[in-house]
A and B are shown apart, each in its own frame.
Chain A
Amino acid sequence: MNSWTYLPQLLASGITVGAIYALVALSFVTITRASQIINFAQGEFVMLGGVLTFFLLKNLGPSYPLAALMAIGIVVMVGFLMYLSVIYPLRKAPMLIPLIATLGASIFLSNTSGFLFGTLPKTLPPFSGQQPFQFLGVFLLPQSLWVLGATFLLLVLLYLLSHRTFLGKAMEASSTDPLGADLVGISRNRMVFLAFGVSAGTGAIAGILITPIFFTSYNSGTILGLKGFIAAVLGGWGKNTGAILGGFALGILEALSVAFIPAGYKDGVAFAILLLILYFRPKGILGSPFVDSRRW
């Protein structure tokens, strides 16, 4: 019975984590919309955002915002590099191989991070103070507000990007009809290249936002990436709105589950949800333009 009183608190923390899942899920969908590829190294971008900022702050001493921007810039470069060195050479291979290659890249990035920056968990200073404050009977960290606020901002930006700018529309076109887009001069490869940059940047921002609350270490990216993917599938694979909904849904469900099952199983909850969704409703909550019951 005691667990029930914790529910609002769990809900709050679930929403915070959910925002991060939403961002990661969005990054997955960005790449998939451009190219049908699932980039399993996505979580590593998040991890690198946090770890690099920490490293820069500690060793080069620029101001916090500057370090953050530099880190984001570097991670975007890493995203571009990954596209050029792994995805582009394999663009003609059957689906399985790029998938495994991104998994390989994920292993590479996490291990390199451990090698370069050490394996200890890292943390960053919260943006505006450590003191939790009370809101509707629940303790919130100021950082959580930053997370939610920044997530909202990013969502708006991404929406504007894909619907209002030419670039965004080009990316949409390229994913819906590659041949047609090609014929009007939109280079698919360039779109995918950009998509990698955008999703790397989004991931890095998510990493910087979350590190002050939960620590980041070299191997925390993998599981985060997987959960972001699960969130995207949960909400409706391939849809931006699905990614967001799925992210929050997963975060909340995961947080709430702690009230009912032993805490150690928490990670398993996400995967259990995945299996349930895949089995009962592969289209996800909002439905999916990519899932056809008869094909891939």
Chain B
Amino acid sequence: MVDSDRKEFRIRDFLYVVPLWLLSLIVPDADDLYSYRGKEFKRRELFYLGALLFVPLIWRDPHFHHLMVLAGIYAILALGLSLFLGYAGQISLGHAAFFGIGAYTTAILTTRYSFAPFLAFWISPFVAALAAYLIGRPILKLKGYFLAIATLGFGEIFQVIVRESTVLTGGVIGIFDIPFLSIGGFSFDTYLKQYYLTWGVLLGLFLYSKNLVRSKMGRAFLAVAASEEAASTIGIKVARTKLGVFVIGAAFAGFAGSLFSSIMSIANPEAFSLNLSILIVIMVILGGMGNLYGPIFVSVLLTWLIDILGKYQVWSLPIYGIILILLLIFFPDGIGTRLGTRLIYLISYWSKKKRRNEGKV
């Protein structure tokens, strides 16, 4: 009886421990970005970079490439929001609106006014940032739930306006035939090329974010999240800081939107809904607050999840909802947070139990 107990025990725990261990090798802890770590090039970062560069060349499935392109776009969105939500601690449930502003700006400029896609690519985030600046000034005075609702309201208003301004935005139908992004003569027309484009943009934005987070600005964001009162007494201009992060997050979303437009070739209002805003917030939460890598990993994870669930057609949406809720319940601090510590607890618990069982025999 005890023997079979032990065997079952081992196998069951293996199923739990091994994936967690593998995961902890790959997923970084929030710890990694504390400012005093400086520019240490950890082996892990090189591993990520290498994987990013070479995996698509090895695994040449176009569907995989397509998926990773989408994941990259979501990652850019999550990255931008993670500065606002994960670091500065402010809630935005309308982030999809900035994504939409970026997408529509590119769409309109390239199809109606024959702008070069490359130019539109740089103008879009600027427009999104401007919108964020205008909306942010009054809205960011609100706190907590009220900020969340106000941003949600803004997101909904954006959708309504887009749906109704048929002349400018093509209304419910949207805009078609958006050209691919191209630089000089080189056009990003295959999923593989788009992959490198998207993740290249992400890399650039990531480096910018990482620098920001490691500097006094990052500390200012965190201070605002920790205690606005204390932050103001050390000289941080709280309102301007919040506005600044909001605008940066919106600019990132603008980049993502522009890429989205040129890759999907169409823009329509359904893609920029509250559901997307919620999804991005979930990505940041599950990625871990105060963490830049986490949201990126989670966006890749969730993109794959959505794709896998898509195969189950009608079942997919309810299951998707359940999975999200379960993840939130089990990982409110983020999936990767303290993964190493949790693992250590688990292993020590396991070995103690094993010893106890053996002792009984």
> Which residue among B163, B278, B317, B318 has the maximum number of chain A CB atoms within 10 Å of its CB?
B318
User: B274 near A111 (CB under 8 angstroms)?
Assistant: no
CB distance from B78 to the nearest CB of A (A): 14
B314 CB contacts on chain A under 8 angstroms = 115
Give residues of chain A (233-283) contacting chain B, Cβ–Cβ below 8 Å.
233, 262, 264-265, 267-268, 271-272, 274-275, 278-279, 282
A38 CB contacts on chain B under 8 angstroms = 145
Check if B178 is an interface residue, CB within 8 A of chain A. Answer: no
Contact surface of A with B, Cβ cutoff 8 Å: 38, 85-86, 89-90, 93-97, 99-101, 103-105, 107-109, 111-112, 114-115, 222, 226, 229-230, 233, 262, 264-265, 267-268, 271-272, 274-275, 278-279, 282, 291, 295-296
User: B146 near A278 (CB under 8 angstroms)?
Assistant: yes
Check if B164 is an interface residue, CB within 8 A of chain A. Answer: yes
C-alpha spacing A271/B139, complex, angstroms: 13
Check if B310 is an interface residue, CB within 8 A of chain A. Answer: no
A272 CB contacts on chain B under 8 angstroms = 153, 157
**Choice from A111, A262, A282 contacting B164 with Cβ under 8 Å:** A262
C-alpha spacing A296/B89, complex, angstroms: 13
**Choice from A89, A100, A111, A296 contacting B285 with Cβ under 8 Å:** A100
A115 CB contacts on chain B under 8 angstroms = 314-315, 317-318
User: A278 near B156 (CB under 8 angstroms)?
Assistant: no
C-alpha spacing A254/B163, complex, angstroms: 18
Top 9 closest A-B pairs, CB basis?
Answer: A108-B321, A111-B317, A296-B144, A268-B160, A271-B153, A264-B164, A112-B318, A274-B153, A93-B332
Main SS class of interface, A: helix
Closest A residue to B152 by beta carbon equals: A226
User: B285 near A108 (CB under 8 angstroms)?
Assistant: no
User: B160 near A275 (CB under 8 angstroms)?
Assistant: no
**Choice from B91, B141, B148, B282 contacting A104 with Cβ under 8 Å:** B282
Check if B281 is an interface residue, CB within 8 A of chain A. Answer: yes
B329 CB contacts on chain A under 8 angstroms = 86, 89-90, 101
**Choice from A262, A265, A274 contacting B149 with Cβ under 8 Å:** A274
A96 CB contacts on chain B under 8 angstroms = 91, 148, 285
C-alpha spacing A30/B179, complex, angstroms: 51
6 A-B residue pairs with Cβ-Cβ distance under 8 Å, sorted by A, are: A105-B321, A107-B275, A264-B164, A267-B160, A279-B150, A295-B143
CB distance from B38 to the nearest CB of A (A): 30
Closest B residue to A113 by beta carbon equals: B318
C-alpha spacing A50/B324, complex, angstroms: 26
CB distance from B128 to the nearest CB of A (A): 19
C-alpha spacing A112/B144, complex, angstroms: 30
Instruction: Please tell me the number of chain B residues within 8 Å of chain A, measured between CB atoms.
Output: 40
CB distance from B335 to the nearest CB of A (A): 14
With A282-B142, A296-B143 known to touch, is A268 a contact of B161 (CB < 8 Å)?
yes
C-alpha spacing A230/B153, complex, angstroms: 9
Check if B191 is an interface residue, CB within 8 A of chain A. Answer: no
User: B149 near A233 (CB under 8 angstroms)?
Assistant: yes
Closest A residue to B160 by beta carbon equals: A268
User: B325 near A265 (CB under 8 angstroms)?
Assistant: no
User: A282 near B146 (CB under 8 angstroms)?
Assistant: yes
A108 CB contacts on chain B under 8 angstroms = 318, 320-322, 324-325
C-alpha spacing A94/B332, complex, angstroms: 9
A104-B325, A264-B164, A275-B154 are known contacts; what are 7 more A-B pairs with Cβ within 8 Å?
A99-B148, A104-B328, A108-B321, A115-B314, A264-B163, A295-B143, A296-B145
C-alpha spacing A112/B325, complex, angstroms: 14
CB distance from B164 to the nearest CB of A (A): 4
C-alpha spacing A201/B93, complex, angstroms: 28
C-alpha spacing A86/B330, complex, angstroms: 11
User: B156 near A86 (CB under 8 angstroms)?
Assistant: no
